[in-house]
Amino acid sequence: MSQPQSKLPLFYKKPEALDATKHKTLALKKGFGLQFTKEINAVPITMIEMPQICHFYPIAFSPDANATPVAILGLRDNENLFLNEKAHWEPNCYIPSYIRRYPFIFSENPENDQLVLCVDTDKSVVEEKGEQRFFTDDGTATALSKNALEFCKSYHAAAFQTTNFGQALLKAGLLIDRSAEITTPNGKKINFSGFKIIDESKLMELDDATFLEFRKNGWLPFIYAHLFSGAQWQKLSFLLGKNLEKSAA
């Protein structure tokens, strides 16, 4: 499981705090699409999404200290199996909120701990004097900006809960390193590694106090969602097989 090495959050190239003066005529490009996800094989997800995610993607956990849950989108580096050549997502699949949030994001103001709405100002995403402006002529936030603010608020709250969840799983010793060998329909073997999963045997051996704490925190459904998502590895194998057939044609 690989991600681009960058200090910026995944996908973001030039995030700037939205400012009514500086960005008065700036607009979101219409239909910039999902092309930005083309070379990503895993994306962060929030805990509350896991019951939906588990029906479409395998769920794993990042190998770092936060143990962030991620949806696996591909089995090879720089390949998102859910995005086709026309930059359309696989039909009838839930799209993770991290992707739907883009190009907006919150940043913290170190002076007062307030959250500031930012937008990626990369030219592939925004344009001057377009139809989908962030501010009106008098500097008032448009419905686009207001909706983005509310979405980012919800996402930020869910991400905070998710961090606590992942760290608790790690502390309880439930996460183990895992690699997978996938065999595509045409017999090709793909090795996929660099992620963690919940060990079912360790979950069964969890002490009563910790299990009750997890239940009290409402985390059990999300643990089970992760376990159920293991069935989706077969779907990834199928999608990769389709891609390999197209390449060979």
pLDDT tens for 130-155 read 999 999 999 999 999 999 999 999 99
Indicate the number of domains in the chain: 1
- Check whether 52 has a pLDDT greater than 90: yes
> Are the C-beta atoms of 244 and 188 separated by less than 8 Å?
yes
- Check whether 4 has a pLDDT greater than 50: no
The reply to whether 111 falls in a domain is yes
Mean pLDDT across 190-205: 92
Tokens of 183: 């065999």
- Which pLDDT does position 208 carry in this prediction? 96
The reply to whether 7 falls in a domain is no
Mean pLDDT lowest among 7-11, 121-125, 186-190: 186-190
Q: How many helices (H) and strands (E) does the chain have?
A: 7, 11
Rg of the chain, C-alpha, whole Å = 20
Nearest to 68 by CA among 95, 89, 49: 49
Give how far Cα 174 sits from Cα of 68, 94, 142, 170, 203, Å.
14, 27, 45, 6, 6
Mean pLDDT of the chain: 91
The model's pLDDT over 78-89, given as tens digits with 9 standing for 90+, comes to 999 999 988 999
Full residue range of the structural domain in which residue 51 is found: 15-248
The reply to whether 5 falls in a domain is no
Model pTM above 0.85: yes
> Are the C-beta atoms of 79 and 41 separated by less than 8 Å?
yes
- Check whether 43 has a pLDDT greater than 70: yes
Mean pLDDT lowest among 37-46, 88-97, 179-188, 210-219: 179-188
**Residues in contact with 73: Cβ distance below 8 Å, sequence separation at least 6, in sequence order:** 37, 40, 41, 42, 43, 57, 80, 81, 82
Mean pLDDT across 188-213: 92
The model's pLDDT over 208-223, given as tens digits with 9 standing for 90+, comes to 999 999 999 999 999 9
The reply to whether 4 falls in a domain is no
- Check whether 239 has a pLDDT greater than 80: yes
- Which pLDDT does position 113 carry in this prediction? 72
Mean pLDDT across 87-102: 96
pLDDT band at residue 72 using 50, 70 and 90 as cut-offs = very high
The reply to whether 244 falls in a domain is yes
Q: Residue 108 corresponds to which amino acid?
A: E
The reply to whether 142 falls in a domain is yes
- Which pLDDT does position 5 carry in this prediction? 46
Instruction: Give the rounded percent of residues in the chain with a pLDDT score beyond 90.
Output: 77
The reply to whether 1 falls in a domain is no
The reply to whether 200 falls in a domain is yes
- Check whether 58 has a pLDDT greater than 70: yes
